[in-house]
Every structure is written in structure tokens, then in C-alpha cells.
Structure 1
């Protein structure tokens, strides 16, 4: 007789293990996964993003080397500060006039190829300028032509490189990617300005242009080895001809998106009345607060440190909204008003750091909304529209603020500017709330092509 089989003891059921990432220890503990999802530099888990960030750091340093030397070079050629401003205006003009066409080109052409060709073209312009400077052949008309060509290429290069960086990471890591880009830009700016002096002292003005050309070639060499995310591969554009109709489609789409229109209004008001601190704070420190260059250097350092800290904090965001952008911009405006009333330099230094933090977070959140709200096939054109309008307020802002300072002084400009920003955001929020309440109260179904109720709210 066979013995009865032993009773089977059921094994405890456990959740399936997530596949481990090679070379990475899996998260431990209940909150580890959530912390990993909100890690500031989570975008750097992706190899392509690490290479792209390194290339951008080199490129930003080269660009700021060239810009630093270019302003000095114009002064040497003409002896006129107005000519320096004119060269910057000529370089910005294509972005104002041709931003729509540049964005349409980015949507029509393969992104990696577009970014690689535009970076190579910018490198070629830098090398030509270096040769002209080295052989003492550069004249002011030639410099203006080269500045215009640089601005023309940048109308395509700017949106192509911005969207390429986002295509290297999953959608939830895009805020981290944009925040990292802001830190890379700030670091590259500091390094480039410092290296410009070393290069010019040791090798002459041409060395800065040559170094910038090499930095563009480095980015060009990295791009073919970058791996796009599957969503970006699937949404990649087919090469087609760029026509004016496609550019107009981008403008129509932009104007039909309440989020984008609201973001534009918030950013424009903030940029004109609140972000030109190199002008307002310089006059405040050296005027009413009786400081000098050293004191303004301290304030500028706090602004830079606050900006980097704000970008780091913004990297923890996952899905920022226009409502968050508005709230941060309003908080920055309140701090700006307080800065306008600062009785001494110490309180001003204390205020500018958090002011820079919230405004950097607002900028990063706004950039994330701008680059992720449109569908993939429209993002280049949306960035093209943004380039045109942001160039417009970038050119108009300093003169308008200068007139306000002539009338109200540095303190008055800071206080009035902060009140305009906070008041505009408050009025916009009140109007939007009433509009949504009306729609909810009447309860109509959206017509074909009309945005649903949630589309009307800036927090969506």
C-alpha cells in the first residue's frame, strides 16, 4: 500500500519583479521607486542624454567665448556701443521674421539630420570668421553678414536641438532634461566667458571663433550616435518640402491652444517688466543704494546661483502646468516688489536669491509645457512661433523698461513692473475662472474641433 502523498503547501504569492537595469542596483524600500521617478537628474540614466549634455556643455562654452569676443571686436572696429547693439539686432532679426519657417522646416525634416547639418553650418560660419580675423580681413559689413547668417541658421537649429534633446528621454523625464539643459547653459556661460579671456590673451581673437567652430563640430559628431526614444522614432517626420502653408498652420494651431496663448502672455509680461535685472538692479545698486561694481557683482552672483538652484528644483517636476508657471511668476513679481523697497544692499541680496529661484522654476516649467503640449508633428512650428514672439519682446523690452526707469526711477520700475506682472496674472486667472464657470454652468457639448471644458483650464 502506497503512503498518502504529503499535503502541498501553497507558495506565498509575490508581485513580479521588475526587470533589473544592467549595472544599476534596484530601488529598495516602499518610497524608492517614487523617489527615483522624481530624481532631479533622472534623465541622465539614458546614455544618449549623457552624451548630448556633454556636447551641449562644450557648445555653450564655445558660444559664450565667441559672443564675449564679438562684442569687443565690434567696439575695436567701430568704437561705437550702438554698433555692438546693432550687430546683436541683426543676428536676432531672422528669428523674428523667419521663426515660423524655421519651425516648419524642423517639423518637415528628420530631426537628427536637421540638427547635425545646422550645427555643422554654424561651425563653418565660426571658422570663416576666425580666418577673417586671423588675416585681418574682417570688416564691419562682413561681420554683419556673418551675424545675419548665424541668426538665419539658428531659426532651424534652436528648435531642432531643443526637441532632439527631449526625444532622447521618456516623456515623464522631459522636465528633468530641460532643467539639466538650463544648468548646462549657465555653466557653459560662466566657463565660456572665463575661457574667452584666456584664449584672447594667449592666442588672439581668432582663437575664440576657432574654438567655437570646434565645439559645433563636436556636437555634429555626437548626433549620429544618439538613440531616440521609441515614441520619437514612431512620430518622426517624413522629409517633405517646406511651404508657407505649413508655417501658417503652425501659427493657427498656436493661437487655437488656450494653454499656449496664456503661457505667451505670462512670459511676455514677465520678460518685459521683470527679467531685465542686469538693467534695473544695476541702476538700483549703483544709484539709490550707493554701491559700486563689486556690490553689483555680488547681486549678480546671487542671481546666477538662484537661477541654477531653481533649475535643479524644477528637475523634480513631472507634469508642470500653465497654472504652476503663473503662480511661480506671480511669486517672483511679489519678491521683485519687495526688492524695489529694499532700504539697503543686504536685504536686496537676501531677496534676489529666492526671486531667481522661483523665476528659474517658472521658466523651466513654461519651457516644458511649450515643448510637450503640442502633438509631436507640430512641435517644431510651435517653437518657431515662440521664437518669433520671444524675439519681439526681447528686442522691445529693454527700451520700454528704460523709459519706465527714466520716469519712475529704478525703485519705481521694479515696484511698478512687479505690480503689472502680478496684476496681469491675477486678472487672467479671474477671467479664466469665470469663463470655465460659465461653460460648466451651461454644460454644452463641445462642437467639432472645439476644445472640451478641461482644455480651457490652464492647469490641464
Structure 2
């Protein structure tokens, strides 16, 4: 299809379109919150390596490598299975949160590396499922505007949460940053599950609503 020509009011139209489409607004809200407080690994991992595990720069290198390896494997599995949609996104967020909780509590570097491999897996699964769900759900003429909102929700929210996460680790310790990310993504998963059930419940009610007819009196 030909690209939609630029015109005034397109961004406003995109917001309106997303707001009235649950399959779009729910993933965007989930990523906005997760991007703000969960995807702060450039802040949390160095502090976790140096102060939480006392592993230094070598340990930090292993931690990033473990997370990258998990992300590669997770991406391959997501591509092979091809599952998208709100249900798959909620499950990915839940698994991501569990792995991040284990990473925040890991008492040693080997256990941290194992947990971070699953963190990478869950992270790429959550991102790729959300991205694919938006692209395949949005109408072709609205896809560019929807994906722009996805980029803003992810990349635009991360700088907002960075100072807060850094302050929290300075006050509560090195593990608090990963812990906050875990609580956030688990909350996102729970909110997504509630929204998913509410959406499906409304759709089911509209499908089974009986048609009421008024009988005309006979003479």
C-alpha cells in the first residue's frame, strides 16, 4: 500500500485510534510503565555487579553476556512459535518479572548469571510480542503512527525512571533497582491480565446478549 500523506491532525487521530482499540492501548500502557522502571539495566546491572555481588568489571561483563545470550535464545523461540496477542504478552511479562525477581535475590554470581539469562529471554519476549501485536493489529494506514507511540512508550519513558532507580539504589542498596523493576513488570502483568479479562468479558457479553422483541397484541 502507498504511504499515507502527511496532514495536520494525524498524531491526534493516532491517539484517538489507539484509545478506542484495546488490543493497542493495553500493550502501549504496559510498555510505558515497564520502560520507565524495568528497562533500566544500564543503571542497575553495573551497581549490582560492583556493590551487590562485588564481582567488579569482569563480573559485569559476564552478566551482560548472560543476559544477551538469553535474549538471543528467547528471540529464536518467539520467532519459531509465532504467538502474539494480549494473552501471550501477559504471560511474557509474568515470566519476565519472575526472572527479574530471582536476579534481584541471587546471592552469588553463578546464580545471578543463570537468572539474567532468563531475564534476557523474558525481556526480548515481552518486547517482540508487544511489537508484533501492535503491527499486526493496527490498520495499515495507522501502523506508522501506532509504532511511533510504541517507540515513545519504550525509549521515551526510560530516561524518566533512570534518576529514580539510581536514587533508590543509593538509599536502599544495589538490589533495590532490580527489585523495583521486578515489582513493576509483575504489576504490569497483573494489570494486563485484568484488562484482558475485562475486554474478553465485554466482547462475550455483546455476543450473547439476547435480542428482545415486543410482541404486538393480536385482535
- Range into which the TM-score falls when normalised by the shorter chain: 0.7 to 0.9
Match of 1:264 among 28, 47, 50: 28
Match of 2:2 among 236, 250, 253: 236
Instruction: Give the Cα separation in 2 of the matches to 1:400 and 1:292.
Output: 23
Shift of 1:358: 2.0
Please say if 1:395 is aligned against 2:163. no
Instruction: Give the Cα separation in 2 of the matches to 1:305 and 1:244.
Output: 44
What residue in structure 2 maps to residue 330 of structure 1?
94
What per-residue deviation string (whole Å, max 9, x for no partner) do you get for residues 339-395 of structure 1? 111111111011111221122122111111121211111111212222333343022
Q: Which runs of 5+ in 1 are unaligned?
A: 1-234, 446-460
Aligned length: 209
Q: How does 1:441-452 map to 2 (within 5 A)?
A: 441=205, 443-444=208-209
Task: Compute the RMSD of aligned alpha carbons.
Answer: 2.2
Shift of 1:434: 4.4
Shift of 1:437: 3.3
- Corresponding residue SS for 2:53: coil
Please say if 1:279 is aligned against 2:43. yes
What residue in structure 2 maps to residue 340 of structure 1?
104
Indicate conservation of the 8 Å contact 1:266/1:326, yes or no.
no
Shift of 1:423: 2.6
Q: How does 1:191-340 map to 2 (within 5 A)?
A: 235-237=1-3, 240=5, 242-340=6-104
Taking structure 1 as the reference length, the TM-score comes to 0.42
Instruction: Give the Cα separation in 1 of the matches to 2:152 and 2:179.
Output: 29
What residue in structure 1 maps to residue 182 of structure 2?
418
Indicate conservation of the 8 Å contact 1:276/1:398, yes or no.
yes
Taking structure 2 as the reference length, the TM-score comes to 0.85
Q: 1:358 to 1:390 in 2, by over 3 A?
A: closer
What per-residue deviation string (whole Å, max 9, x for no partner) do you get for residues 211-253 of structure 1? xxxxxxxxxxxxxxxxxxxxxxxx3236x4x222223211211
Instruction: Give the Cα separation in 2 of the matches to 1:371 and 1:432.
Output: 19
Consecutive aligned runs of 4 or more in structure 1 exceeding 6 Å deviation: none
Q: 1:260 to 1:435 in 2, by over 3 A?
A: closer
Q: 1:308 to 1:321 in 2, by over 3 A?
A: same
Shift of 1:427: 3.5
Instruction: Give the Cα separation in 2 of the matches to 1:257 and 1:435.
Output: 10
Instruction: Give the Cα separation in 2 of the matches to 1:250 and 1:439.
Output: 23
Q: How does 1:38-49 map to 2 (within 5 A)?
A: none
Instruction: Give the Cα separation in 2 of the matches to 1:329 and 1:304.
Output: 18
Indicate conservation of the 8 Å contact 1:401/1:413, yes or no.
yes
Match of 1:384 among 119, 142, 148: 148
Q: Which runs of 5+ in 2 are unaligned?
A: 211-219
Indicate conservation of the 8 Å contact 1:306/1:355, yes or no.
yes
Instruction: Give the Cα separation in 1 of the matches to 2:195 and 2:140.
Output: 30
Shift of 1:295: 0.9
Mean CA deviation greater in 266-275 or 293-302: 266-275
